[in-house]
Amino acid sequence: MELPAAPAIEGAVHLHSGKVRDLYRLDDGRLLMVASDRISAYDFVLETPIPDKGALLTRMSLWWFDRLADLVPNHVLSSEVPAPVAGRAIVCEELAMHPVECVARGYLAGSGLADYRATGAVCGVELPEGLVDGSRLEAPIFTPATKAALGDHDENVSYDAVVDVVGADRAAELRSLTLQVYVRAEQVARERGIILADTKLEFGARPDGTTVLGDEVLTPDSSRFWPAEGWQPGRPQPSYDKQFVRDWLTSESGWDRTSGEPPPPLPDEVVERTREKYVEAYERLTGERF
């Protein structure tokens, strides 16, 4: 998958680009993580950006990092960044990232729902019979996934597979921290009229072995946010994430996701509605105007 060229930033060397973020090393050795306005769907980076998305993701992550700092340290060193990327980048410490997507689910949706319908379990965690799309689980569960290469799809794996990769002690710590973060965030979101259905976290280690929360955290790109007043199990839920884009691609655009061809450009109205979803989620969660 080809990505747009990362912008040149004075005093920084480009290291890597993901679906949404570009990573640089600054002259002083620290890392600069820049959130672009790119949006991905079905493992494609779409041709059409969403204006202000990078700034929204960055501000939301910083807001959440502050509210989780007593549970787990995070990689943020500063939000004072070079002018070209001000507002949508952070300076962060370099970590040895664990090759595991740490996912917590409190509700059944997405790939978790697909796994449950096929096997009655998600990542080996057996669930009660009779659950439907959007069902709330009795307790949140840890459902890890592999980290996929750009253009590939993350694959759900069992807890034992995480143990094989990072060892028993680290796996237990990652599971515990993931569930602690989810429980805290779910409560915070619920107080603001939003259901946090699930979220994906990434952790790394400092040279001394300390586990640190990295990447982004609890944004509509890495989480399912649903308006609480619209929750109705048994159907897909209204959401604040990029489901709006996915729905247009699969139901209105004429694109065949099995063709291997990239999706078409997004029309202006889909871009604007998607931006509105991100802004609404940010403002409703934080109480701040964007």
d(CA 88, CA 53): 9
Domain ranges in the chain are 96-230
C-alpha 107 chain-centroid distance: 16
pLDDT along the chain (290 residues), means of 10: 77 92 94 95 91 96 98 97 93 96 97 96 96 98 82 81 96 98 98 97 97 96 94 94 86 90 94 94 95
pLDDT at 2: 64
Q: Among 106, 131, 81, 97, which residue's Cα sits nearest to residue 198?
A: 106
Token pair, residue 255, equals: 């694109």
Q: Which amino acid is at 267?
A: P
Dist CA 247 CA 239 (whole Å): 11
CA distance 81 to 91: 7
CATH class for the region spanning 96-230: alpha beta
Rounded to whole angstroms, how far apart are CA atoms 190 and 136?
13
Structure tokens at 22: 């570009």
Sign of the Cα torsion 89, 90, 96, 97 reads: negative
C-alpha 178/C-alpha 203 separation (Å) is 9
The torsion angles phi and psi of 183, rounded to 5 degrees, stand at -60, -45
Burial of 80 (0-12, 13-18, 19+ CB in 10 A): exposed
pTM score, two decimals? 0.93
Q: Classify strands 89-92 and 31-35 as parallel, antiparallel or unpaired.
A: antiparallel
pLDDT for the residue numbered 148: 64
The phi and psi torsions of 107 (rounded to 5 degrees) equal -140, 160
The pLDDT score that the predictor gives to residue 58 is 97
- In the beta sheet, which residues pair with residue 90? 33
CA 140/CA 155 separation, integer angstroms: 19
pLDDT at residue number 188: 98
Helix (H) or strand (E) holding 186: helix 168-191
CA distance 288 to 131: 36
